[in-house]
Amino acid sequence: MLKNPPPFVSRYLDALPVDNEDAPVSRQVSGVCASRAQMRGFSDPQLIAWNPDLAGSLSLQDLFTNPGVAANVLCGNQLLPGMRPYAMRYGGHQFGHWAGQLGDGRAINLGELPDQRGRMQGLQLKGAGPTAYSRQGDGLAVLRSSLREYLCSAAMIALQIPSTRALSLVLTGEQVVRDMFYDGNPKLESGAVVCRVSESFIRFGHFELLAARHEFPLQRQLADFVIANHYAHIDQDPARRYQAWFHEICACSLQLVLDWQRVGFVHGVLNTDNMSILGETIDYGPYGWLEDYDPLWTPNTTDAAGRRYSFGNQPAIVHWNLAMLANALYQLIADRDFLEAEIAQFESDFQVRMTGLQLAKTGFCNWPWNAGEWQQLLQHAPVEEWVAFVLQTEELLKSRSTDYTIFYDLLADFNIGAAFGAGLDSAPDLAALHRHLADAFYDSDVDTATYNSRLQKWAETYARLSRRIGLEQPLRKRRMRQCNPRYVLRNYMAQEAIDLAETGDYSRIAELFQLLQKPYADQPAMHNRYCKKRPAWANSKPGCAMLSCSS
């Protein structure tokens, strides 16, 4: 055992009604916010990765001096003082349809610890066994999906995008049956548990289920808990606090989806039960990073027909999910005009800020969004000109198979003003720009004349607007480097780490974890391959081109 381990607390259990039946028997539950959970236990757990910075922030670094003890604690075999396992009760809309009670079917909350800033952080084990909400599932998870969550949550934090975090990755020593593509081909996979960390795992679906079951006093109690513990700065006047709270949920959700669009992240399954009440990225399933620029691209095979959760649809889906939350909170807020205005304002704000985001990606302003900078740009050119340039940029990206990340990474180093703004006596250096961007293209059989014509018109507009506002190359490059990552977790990179880990080689997990800590920076030459296009072998390999909700 550890010497003097930090004691855990469970504010959620202390403040809200709980179902004390801990048998992992799937059932409908009412009148509570959580159910107690039993730890299943595993035969031979092995710690294969952990986040030392996060462990230190939680004063848990001593736990990892003994990997055996750490593995047992972080798969649920051993409980530390104060840990009281429980599963949360919630519902949600899945692919646009009300799904009723869902809940933590394979996530078990252990309790909370203060971090170095004094903020309480909850620890949750995903894949530790069944709960009252497991439905027909076994409550387990596999290495494939757990490794992807471990790496991607770390990548998002380094990209400065709100996210749950992952403390550890543990192999359970057992095999789990999974049908990866739900096509009648199940196989045994290595079982694993990932330990998630967040200030709260409460989702939109918590409030939806309570509204659907007409448990309105309990919904108010839960809302008061969330505000007191996670939005304590909100005015406590009962006539205003719920409105102010919903306004902030809309604001943080807007910022979240803008950041996803900025870096090319596609969540893959944006159901309302996968939307955090804190505006964090939560539930890493069939996610992917946009490579060939296609607004309709989705990494989720389950979504292939409708593409509801495709890259370009993410803002509209977040907007729709907020509308579902507004419906759920109507009895609490009781002001239809306010709720409708907030939902409408989200859409209006998104259009303006998305234009600002796309201008930041090309260096015309800084990111995050700054309304003052936007007003300065409007002093030099009307909004129609800026919007036209944004649309030109998107059409350029779509006109051939262009890697979203690499295009902006390369573009930052090319002096558009010098190449296309030297004056009428100097011909634009289109060939130099085309050569400079060549490594961003996946296709080779493109109509070069048509593409070059479009490229030249876009570059001339870019240079003209740059001259108009006095944008020099050093400032442009610095802004672009701060907004556009060089390294993202491409699916083939994660799959390589999975394939190696299945053989007992965990070195690639550590390598990628370190690489992803500095996504905006130049890195040693040994990492050059990670900022290049996906290899051809990944175009059709399962886990690279094709993913599902299976985990």
Q: Among 273, 283, 403, 409, which one carries the catalytic annotation?
A: 273
Give the pairing of strands 34-36 and 18-19: parallel
Give SS3 for 192.
Answer: strand
Closest listed residue to residue 160, CA positions, set 423, 472, 442, 482:
482
Give the pairing of strands 46-50 and 165-178: antiparallel
Contact predicate 455/393, CB 8 Å:
no
- Would you say the C-alpha torsion 535, 536, 542, 545 has a positive or negative sign? positive
Give SS3 for 402.
Answer: strand
Residues 6+ apart with CB under 8 A from 391: none
List the alpha helices (DSSP H) in 234-281: 241-263
**CB neighbours of residue 445 within 10 Å:** 6
445 as an active site residue: the answer is no
SS3 string of 269-323? CCCHHHCECCCCECCCCCCEECCECCCCCCCEHHHCCCCCCCHHHHHHHHHHHHH
Contact predicate 393/457, CB 8 Å:
no
**Number of continuous H segments (helices) and E segments (strands) in the chain:** 19, 12
Single-letter code of the amino acid located at 54: L
**CB neighbours of residue 437 within 10 Å:** 18
Q: E-strand spans in 350-499?
A: none
Closest listed residue to residue 264, CA positions, set 407, 106, 88:
407
Closest listed residue to residue 83, CA positions, set 50, 139, 32, 128:
128
- Would you say the C-alpha torsion 33, 38, 42, 47 has a positive or negative sign? positive
Catalytically active residues, by annotation: 273
